[in-house]
Amino acid sequence: MPTIAHISDLHLQSGVPERQSQVEPIFNKVNELDPYLIVVSGDVTDDGWDSIDELRWAKKWIEQRLGKKVLFQPGNHDVGNFANLLEGPINDQRVRQWRSVFNPLPVNFGVQDPWAIIGINSMLLGAELVSEETHMDRLERELKVIEKGLPHIAAFMHSPMFVSQPGESTDPETDYWLGPYEPRLRLYERLKQAGVKLIGSGHVHQTRLTEVDGVKIVWAPPASGTWVHAPGLPNPPMPEQTGFFLHTLHDDGRVDSELIACAPMLKLYEHNP
């Protein structure tokens, strides 16, 4: 049974060694557990959206420490915010910059029969960019291949599909966290149709482990150690520790997800996007 270490929101900065020292105990624990695959679901960097040098540095720094197969997906700090937000929106140049360092293809996926493991750039949803069209076309081709031979999918992306339920009413307060409603709902329905059993994300700097429509929904904790409270989110109390999720994928489609707490939670941030 393959296991996946699911890390999110590292917010690494080359000139801020405290960011690296915060993440290192998490990496040490991941190496100790020796998973089949490591997934980083976005915000690898704090300002890589504006600096290809930061992206290059972060990738090298991570690979030197993990030395394993890592599936990276971009977050808003890596490629820009959702296109429906005014500040620092995603664009084709930022996506090309990310791909030149991390992803040579719009969709990376791994296979551990009977599972397919896919990564999705959720920041592109509703962007109306060439990059979005290319990414979604590639995703659709991959899903059609998967549907012919692999019954179960584990999907990873930066932003959650919803707060509580896929059909919940849209709320301007959650636009920063979820992105445009209609393309997000279409993606969720397509993933369900294809056999998704696990959707792992980050972005919100809160932790969640629940099941909706028979799909395990997981928000990974912030590896950076910054817990967030914000309008429209559940806002549970800040825990003492952060870390990552370890997902165990069973042949029958079940997913066991364990929160591995192994680093300090540093601070609570009240966010009003």
Mean pLDDT of 43-61: 96
Please state, in angstroms and rounded to a whole number, the distance separating the CA atoms of residues 127 and 173.
19
pLDDT attached to residue 107: 66
User: Which of 83, 120, 117 has the alpha carbon at shortest distance from 103?
Assistant: 120
pTM of the model: 0.96
Calculate what percentage of the chain has a pLDDT beyond 90. 86
* Mean pLDDT of the chain, nearest integer: 94
Please state, in angstroms and rounded to a whole number, the distance separating the CA atoms of residues 105 and 121.
11
| Local confidence band at 84 (pLDDT 50, 70, 90 cut-offs) | confident
pLDDT attached to residue 247: 98
| Local confidence band at 44 (pLDDT 50, 70, 90 cut-offs) | very high
pLDDT attached to residue 131: 94
Task: Give me 262's structure tokens.
Answer: 């192994």
The model's pLDDT over 183-218, given as tens digits with 9 standing for 90+, comes to: 999 999 999 999 999 999 999 999 999 999 999 999
Beta strands in the chain (DSSP E): 3-7, 37-41, 70-73, 109-112, 115-119, 152-156, 196-201, 208-212, 215-219, 226-229, 241-249, 255-264, 267-270
In contact, 40 and 8? CB cutoff 8 Å: yes
Q: Which of 33-37, 106-110, 129-133, 265-269 has the lowest mean pLDDT?
A: 106-110
| Cβ count near 38 (within 10 Å) | 22
**What residues contact 38, with CB distance under 8 A and at least 6 apart?**
4, 5, 7, 30, 66, 68, 69, 70, 71
Higher pLDDT, 266 or 88: 266
Mean pLDDT of 21-48: 97
Evaluate the omega torsion of the peptide bond into residue 237 and state whether it is cis, within 30 degrees of 0.
no
Mean pLDDT of 93-107: 85
pLDDT attached to residue 272: 81
For 67-168, where are the alpha helices, taking DSSP H only? 76-79, 92-101, 130-149
The model's pLDDT over 117-165, given as tens digits with 9 standing for 90+, comes to: 999 999 999 999 999 999 999 999 999 999 998 899 999 999 999 999 9
Please state, in angstroms and rounded to a whole number, the distance separating the CA atoms of residues 156 and 197.
11
Higher pLDDT, 160 or 273: 160
Calculate what percentage of the chain has a pLDDT beyond 70. 97
Q: Residue 28: pLDDT above 70?
A: yes
Mean pLDDT of 82-95: 88
> Computed over its alpha carbons, how large is the radius of gyration of the chain?
17
| Local confidence band at 104 (pLDDT 50, 70, 90 cut-offs) | low
Please state, in angstroms and rounded to a whole number, the distance separating the CA atoms of residues 181 and 187.
10
pLDDT attached to residue 171: 81
Higher pLDDT, 108 or 89: 89
